[in-house]
Structure 1
Amino acid sequence: MGNRLERKVAIVTGGGSGIGEAICKKFAQEGARVVVVGLSDDPVDEVVKEIEQQGGIAVGYKGDISIEANAKACVELAIRMYDRLNILINNAGVFPETNYLQDFSEEAFDYLIRNNIKSTFMMTKAALPELQKTKGNIVTAGSEAGHMGEPQAVPYGGTKGFNHAFTKGLASEQAHFGVRCNIVAPGLIDTAWTHASTGPMSSEMEKSTTSGTLMGRRGTPEEVANVYLFVASDEASYVTGAIYYVDGGTTIAKGPLGEKAADNLKTEPQGELELQHAMDGHTSIRE
């Protein structure tokens, strides 16, 4: 166990799988009390149990946090259990469909708005009064797609672009109250979203996206969680309104340069977290 988040209380939305699971376990490993947030059929209880088995402290909350009452209830749970809130991680999001825009479904568009934008808005609104008390911070999930756009997932990139601008405005506004607000923007990460067998990407898109990273591979959820840890910790005390890209160089790649990457860059690092739910993420529209 580390101590970089000792005695901090963190809410992590989308905490039951993928990058969210890694954030929860990394934060708990570093001494945080973690509220693991997910929908009713997410493996939230399993993640809580796995954190506790490793000596960490966590509690689960299940509910649709795009609904204001649920967002408030989630924050109230953190206060009831741990008396304060220091960190909000707006990680929850969906990637339900890939399609040319003329064929993109209205159902998928509405699903993106609810889960990628409204959930961030509602959780931020509910958490700010408590974060102002502790001079805490918010880290929201952006994406390299929010910077460059995403062909055949144009609305997805749009939702992440909203989160980028939302967070920059929020950082400007909330500095008055002592609250820092930042973005971590992953690229292609090894979760259910980025495999043709488990998500909406085609095999062709999967291959081209991987070769479009300078490092020629997917990132790991733990590599993303490491950046969240820094940004959420007191080590980043002079960082607000920033976007940290964790994308293997996708945003500056020109063509399939990943195919020429050195072997050491193509090799995933050996992580230290025991991640069981990397492939359990939401890859289809659910009620």
Structure 2
Amino acid sequence: MGRLEGKVAIITGAGGGFGRRMSEIFSQEGAKIVVADFDEKSGHETVEKVVAAGGDAIFVKVDVTNDESTRNMVAKTVERYGKLDILVNNAGKQGVKNDIAHMQVEEMMPYLNVNVRGPWLCIHHAAPELVKTKGKIVNIASIAALQGSYGGTAYGVSKGAVLSLTYAVANELGLYGVRCNAVSPYSAATQETVRLLGEEFHELRKSGNPLHQLCIADDVAYASLFLASDESRSCTGLNLLCDCGAHVRSCPFDIEDFKKNNVYEGVEPLF
């Protein structure tokens, strides 16, 4: 306990899933939490959970794709708590399962807006405060940034950009003692991912890693806690793989469904 004592943390996408669990765990370790989310209802629910457990938290509504909204998020944080020590870029958009030819062109931009523009804007506005405290940035990326997947071009590309952003910011803000790292989870059966992709998909995903299991919110929250704490003082520009070992295993578990859903007229797959 007390690993983040006296720290102030903004966590985007904190209304549920990874972000809610991070809010709870960071608070238990002594941090004051800014629950930043577009969904007011779920955001306030997270605040209530943190406060009920004895923590200190406020809700700030944010659209991470909007310049003024992200600026306001940082300003409200400093107005309430006087500083900013930790920024966790957790808000993100997850994916469709169509291949690059069958995906609609207009479907691509939301991934880039939320998953790339969002963290960039949050860091852009948080940086002037983080350099004052030699703060920490944790970007939630994905194993999809390192592995090609069937139907994952938009999502994978956007998370690959998150890693590039992490490396660049680690250099730029490292000049002022700010550390910037990433956590790359494997599939996690959160409420949101089950709604988007279904329970059957997540059962199949278990076969894609050596541990034959999925991530849970605690896995990502504790990995993020390590990177947000002084225990990781020598880590910056790190991509912490929280993936059950998926990066060492190649398993095209979903190829049959993928082939059925993405047909090229007159052309048969080679396998």
TM over 0.5: yes
Q: How does 1:94-173 map to 2 (within 5 A)?
A: 94-173=93-172
Q: Across the two proteins, how many residue pairs are aligned to each other?
A: 253
Q: How does 1:5-84 map to 2 (within 5 A)?
A: 5-41=4-40, 43-84=42-83
Given residue 233 of structure 1, which amino acid in structure 2 is its aligned partner?
S
* Matched residue, 1:215: 211
TM-score by length of 2: 0.89
CA separation in 1, counterparts of 2:181 and 2:19? 16
* Matched residue, 1:276: none
CA separation in 1, counterparts of 2:15 and 2:39? 10
Q: Kindly indicate whether residue 221 of structure 2 is the aligned counterpart of residue 232 of structure 1.
A: no
Secondary structure in structure 2 of the residue aligned to 1:245 = strand
Aligned-residue offset at 1:256: 8.0
* Matched residue, 1:200: 197
CA separation in 1, counterparts of 2:59 and 2:40? 12
Task: Work out whether residues 186 and 246 of structure 2, in 8 Å CA contact, stay in contact via their aligned partners in 1.
Answer: yes
Secondary structure in structure 1 of the residue aligned to 2:3 = coil
1:196-220 superposed Cα distances (whole Å, 9 cap, x missing partner):
xx113583x4343221111111111
- Over the matched positions of the two proteins, sequence identity in percent amounts to 32
TM-aligned CA distance change 1:110 to 1:42, over 3 Å: farther
* Matched residue, 2:87: 88
Q: Which has the larger radius of gyration?
A: 2
Aligned-residue offset at 1:41: 4.8
TM-aligned CA distance change 1:244 to 1:172, over 3 Å: same
1:81-138 superposed Cα distances (whole Å, 9 cap, x missing partner):
1000000000110114221111112332111111101110100000000000001010
CA separation in 1, counterparts of 2:146 and 2:138? 17
Return 5+ residue gaps in structure 2 as ranges: 254-271
CA separation in 2, counterparts of 1:78 and 1:150? 38
Given residue 125 of structure 1, which amino acid in structure 2 is its aligned partner?
H
The structure 1 segments of at least 4 consecutive aligned residues displaced by more than 6 Å after TM superposition are none
TM-score by length of 1: 0.84
